[in-house]
Amino acid sequence: MSFAKYLIQITDPRIPDIIYATFPDITHNAELLNKVYKMWRLGNDSEYAQLYFAKHNVGTLLTKLSGYKIDTDKKVIRVMLSNGFICLIPLDLFGNIDIDTLIDVLRLPMQITVKHVKGVLIADNVKVPTLQSAEDIGKEIVEEIGALNALLIGYGIMPHKDTYFLFLPRIMALFKGFRYPHESFPTFPIHVLQFTEPNTGKTHFAVRTVDIANYEYMGGELPTLTRLVYDARSGAIGTVGLRDGIILDEFDKKTANDLVKLTTDLRALLTGMEQCVWSRSAGAKPIEIRRCVNFVFLGNIPPYMKGGDSRQKIVQYYNVSGMDALVDRITIVDIWASEINIANYVLHRIMPNYVVRGIVEYITKNLKPEEVSVDVKGGRIARHAMNIKTLLKALGVNLSDEVVAYIAQGLYTFDMLNRATPTDELAKTITDAKYLNNIKDALK
């Protein structure tokens, strides 16, 4: 099967997937692999970067911007890098590009050559890799092995009955949906919450998504409005102005401070998630960003949260004012109670980022709103049901409208669906299952 020719063998597991996926030809070039890895560490590892610049005045790094401010007088971009350093980038280094293109460029990973001067990095050269996609390749792969198989393999996960249902909510978070059924193009954010047992590949999914889909991985810390929207002290635009999605891991680990922070910032979070308007009053200067950003909440399932209404369980678990409104905005609230060791399904091969982006873009182009034919109670639940049905259909998943409505309401989980689906009838629900034997043969 031709899809296998796009797979990259991971030869050194210490090196992040992003390096293999961003530089597909690097697998068989140990010298280049080591060089690129050091550039990535310099741009993303704070400890490594501090030690490096204590010994060297010049370096080249691969990184993403965590926030930025434009100094209009000096024509310099003041950016916060992933390694914790401040970097000053003259606007001239980006050439004669228009403002809209520059805004898009600042969201991309970039290669920056810098000088270290008194604790600050000053850019001498900037190379911005095109965030290319390969929609034609995506179409080829989807038509050969199906959309769900293509995305799982792209993430380095073996398609299987268990991984189909486990990853479906996460995969749906890669897409935008529809606010209304008459819309012709998906722009509305899809928010997903999934709690599972440990070792189900949540972090694996998060790390790959950060590079494939321009998402921000925030680990287990709840973000402040300073980080999300605007930092009044530095004047830097926050994460929602730079990213298409935000992943919050370890969302189950709440502390007293987390609850206070959640209650304090909830109103702005609710408005942004629903209206795509992010605002913060920074002293006398109100800041507003208009951008639809997907949110993915991941965590381990507490022992007493198994069974029952998933939405209500989450609200009760946090027990803070306004949490019901947050949960109401989430498209899929999924609790996976079964134990699965994702290590048994890791391929140790992945597809280049641009190929996976091509698969997502090809699927996105074919999305059309699909309303459910059953009555669904709740103001937003009907919209959630429409978007769940739309995305499931695009991914080749056949469920009745009643089951889709139950999923939207939190009354039925993908774990329940997995356990209720006989293995010998899997292809009736997951169309892609008919390709499984051919995929196994191709991956030998």
Buried/exposed code over 209-242 (b: 16+ C-beta within 10 A; e: otherwise): bbbbbbbbbbeeebbebbbbbbbeeebbbbbbbb
Mean pLDDT on 130-155: 90
Do 176 and 314 share a domain, yes or no?
Answer: yes
CA angle, corner 176, sides to 104 and 219, nearest 5? 75
Predicted pLDDT of residue 16: 75
Q: What is the pLDDT of residues 389-423, one digit of tens each?
A: 999 999 999 999 999 999 999 999 999 999 999 99
Predicted pLDDT of residue 146: 97
State the Cα–Cα distance between residues 377 and 406, nearest whole angstrom: 11
Predicted pLDDT of residue 256: 63
In-domain check, residue 444: no
Predicted pLDDT of residue 147: 97
Number of domains in the chain: 2
Q: What is the pLDDT of residues 103-120, one digit of tens each?
A: 888 887 889 999 999 999
Global pTM value: 0.86
In-domain check, residue 355: yes
Bridge partners (DSSP) of residue 79 are: 68, 87
What sign has the CA pseudo-torsion 232, 222, 244, 104?
A: positive
What sign has the CA pseudo-torsion 81, 83, 87, 93?
A: negative
Contacts of 135 (CB under 8 A, 6+ apart): 358, 361, 362, 365
Average pLDDT, rounded, for the chain: 89
Predicted pLDDT of residue 302: 85
Do 96 and 143 share a domain, yes or no?
Answer: no
Q: In this structure, how many other beta carbons lie within 10 angstroms of the beta carbon of residue 268?
A: 17
Predicted pLDDT of residue 346: 93
State the Cα–Cα distance between residues 419 and 165, nearest whole angstrom: 10
Bridge partners (DSSP) of residue 113 are: 60, 125
User: Is the pLDDT reported for residue 284 higher than 60?
Assistant: no
The CATH number assigned to the domain holding 119 equals: 2.40.50
- The two structure tokens encoding residue 134: 């390969």
Predicted pLDDT of residue 403: 97
In-domain check, residue 108: yes
Residue identified by tokens 């494939």 is 212
Mark which of 127, 159, 179 sits at the end of a domain.
127
* 319: containing domain: 136-438
370 vs 287, which has greater pLDDT? Answer: 370
* Residue 275 pLDDT grade (very low, low, confident, very high; cuts 50, 70, 90): very high
The CATH number assigned to the domain holding 264 equals: 3.40.50
Predicted pLDDT of residue 130: 62
369 vs 223, which has greater pLDDT? Answer: 369
Do 185 and 237 share a domain, yes or no?
Answer: yes
* Residue 129 pLDDT grade (very low, low, confident, very high; cuts 50, 70, 90): low
Q: What is the pLDDT of residues 62-78, one digit of tens each?
A: 988 878 888 899 999 99
Do 322 and 189 share a domain, yes or no?
Answer: yes
Do 79 and 190 share a domain, yes or no?
Answer: no
CB 289 within 8 A of CB 227: no
In-domain check, residue 49: yes
Q: What is the pLDDT of residues 306-364, one digit of tens each?
A: 667 899 999 888 888 888 899 999 999 999 999 999 999 999 888 888 899 999 999 99
Mean pLDDT on 179-189: 95
1 vs 93, which has greater pLDDT? Answer: 93
In-domain check, residue 386: yes
Predicted pLDDT of residue 131: 57
Do 142 and 117 share a domain, yes or no?
Answer: no
Do 383 and 421 share a domain, yes or no?
Answer: yes
Percentage of the residues of the chain whose pLDDT score is greater than 90: 59
Do 174 and 118 share a domain, yes or no?
Answer: no
Mark which of 127, 159, 174 sits at the end of a domain.
127
Mark which of 79, 101, 127 sits at the end of a domain.
127
Do 191 and 327 share a domain, yes or no?
Answer: yes
Bridge partners (DSSP) of residue 77 are: 70, 89
Predicted pLDDT of residue 363: 97
State the Cα–Cα distance between residues 283 and 327, nearest whole angstrom: 30
Do 74 and 220 share a domain, yes or no?
Answer: no
